[in-house]
Structure 1
Amino acid sequence: MNIEYINIDQNELDKPLYRYLDFYRVVQMLQNNEIVFVRPEKWEDPFETYVINSQILYDDGGKLIHSLNGVIHGICWTKNYVSDALWRIYSPHKMAVRIKTTPRLLIESIESSLNKYDRSTFFIGKVEYKSQKQIIKNAKDIASKIGGSGSDKITAKSLLLKRKSFSHEQEVRTIIFDRHLKAKNGILKLKIDAHKLIQSVLVDSRAPDEMLNVYSMYLKKELNFKGKVDKSVLYKNLDKLIINKK
């Protein structure tokens, strides 16, 4: 298996990455020791798959449809450690959590799982945010290169382009080309040491305090999670401002 970096430097490998998700998904990760990748067509923004869904039409009437769609799977992370927007998007019921890891831990986890699959390719990279006009302008040039030399990296780069309106996400993506066809129904599950991958769990600040106790007890006692479990203070009520005057 090959690992390649896109828009990310070696000195960033130990900086934190976060993912906002439902608590039961964290439980699944820790119980099953697995991480789940999905096909990009499950992502909501149509511009994220604009290039890989393209077709090439030839003068003789021939048509080329990119054949990589079925083998590409990804998972999204963020560098943004505190974000009102991300909590509201991924925790509409106010009960979700945020897990913390690093690019290095991600790479080590995925590498150990994919080592025996020598035809698979793994990319980790930061998303670039461009205007819609820029993405459309560059799309034809990028799409025309898919299928040639370095095709996997070009395709992965196309999945690291998003419109500027999403820049608050500060995304880092891990992308796998699953040429061993291990995925089922568009979902690729890899066995990892989830207890090593997840460094901490942070509960939505809007959740009742009792939920922090419930979550923490379950993670610690039932799943033997050793990392820190805490509650965000983003929406914590402030003490009343009192000004003393003589």
Structure 2
Amino acid sequence: MATKYSLKVYRYISFQRFCELLFHQELALVNPSKWPDQYETFVVRTLKNLQHREEMANSFAQYGIHCEKHFNSFIETIQAITDDMFCLCFSRSKDAEVMWNAYNYDNHAVMIRTSVDKLLELDSDSLSIFRVQYDLDRPCLETLLNNTTFTDDGIVLYDGDEIIRHKRKCFKYENEMRLVGSSFCTVPHRINDGILYLPIKDISYFVERVMVHPLADDGYVALIRKMCMHFGIKFWGRSKIYEFKGM
């Protein structure tokens, strides 16, 4: 049985992203504000929505927290953490038909395999990884308040990952894990336009396997095979999920 850190994870990407990964040899973590799904920053948007102020004041009161005294500072803290948060999403689902469909890229999608421990090795002091919970229909403010200490000197949030740990149930098929870092990552890196780039020392070690879309044409399969051979990466070939294997 795989441990948490030896767990294999998969990422379904476009040919362009695949080329960037191999030739630049770096992993690109994106600030959640750049993600198209606005529910990814649900907590920040909810806190800033005055229509929810009374409901949030009740939540503060349940925890014995003076809302008028701490609310604005709480919003500023959550916003600051979110602004300095950079993430990359992986799936625990190998060669999954639903993922090939969701990330099709005109049948040119590429699936790469790595592991949790290899992700964390990129910056063992600064990175974290967690499983996404598909329960955004449940209140998340209470969970954040459970992880926060309010004092006269300031506010401390003990688990900033909680801000983006939750998604809607309609995305449950992604079976997602999220890698999270910040501008305070200890390894040399660069940040540009809301993207944090982490260098990969050995791409053939980091990328364990590569597979291409089940409907990819032969020429494309041959191209990805040559690229994998050049970089010393094992090639799994084209996905066989649509092939008839007999009864």
SS in 2 for 1:20: strand
Calculate the aligned-residue CA RMSD, in Å: 2.9
1:79-106 deviations in Å (ceiling 9; x for gaps): 0113222111211411111000110111
Q: Does structure 1 retain, via aligned residues, the 8 Å contact 2:95–2:111?
A: no
For residue 28 of structure 1, report the CA deviation from its aligned partner.
1.4
- The answer for the alignment partner of 2:238 in structure 1 is 231
For residue 183 of structure 1, report the CA deviation from its aligned partner.
1.8
Unaligned residue ranges in structure 1 (runs of 5+): 1-9, 116-120, 242-246
For residue 195 of structure 1, report the CA deviation from its aligned partner.
2.2
* Percentage of identical aligned residues: 21
Q: Does structure 1 retain, via aligned residues, the 8 Å contact 2:210–2:233?
A: no
For residue 138 of structure 1, report the CA deviation from its aligned partner.
2.7
Moved more, 57-66 or 121-130: 57-66
Structure 2 counterpart of 1:225, which letter? G
Matches within 5 A, 1:1-246: 11-53=3-45, 54-55=47-48, 59=68, 63-64=72-73, 65=76, 66-111=79-124, 121-130=126-135, 132=137, 134=138, 137-139=139-141, 141-142=143-144, 145=148, 148-149=155-156, 151=157, 153-179=158-184, 182-193=190-201, 194-221=203-230, 224-236=231-243, 238=244
SS in 2 for 1:49: helix
For residue 25 of structure 1, report the CA deviation from its aligned partner.
1.4
CA gap 1:102/1:60 in 2 versus in 1, 3 angstroms: closer
TM-score, with structure 2 as normaliser:
0.77
Structure 2 Cα separation of the partners of residues 72 and 62 of structure 1: 21
Unaligned residue ranges in structure 2 (runs of 5+): 54-66
Structure 1 Cα separation of the partners of residues 71 and 229 of structure 2: 59
Q: Does structure 2 retain, via aligned residues, the 8 Å contact 1:73–1:187?
A: yes
Structure 1 Cα separation of the partners of residues 103 and 14 of structure 2: 8
CA gap 1:103/1:25 in 2 versus in 1, 3 angstroms: same
SS in 1 for 2:80: coil
For residue 19 of structure 1, report the CA deviation from its aligned partner.
0.1
TM-score, with structure 1 as normaliser:
0.77
Q: Which has the higher helix share?
A: 2
Q: Does structure 2 retain, via aligned residues, the 8 Å contact 1:33–1:195?
A: no
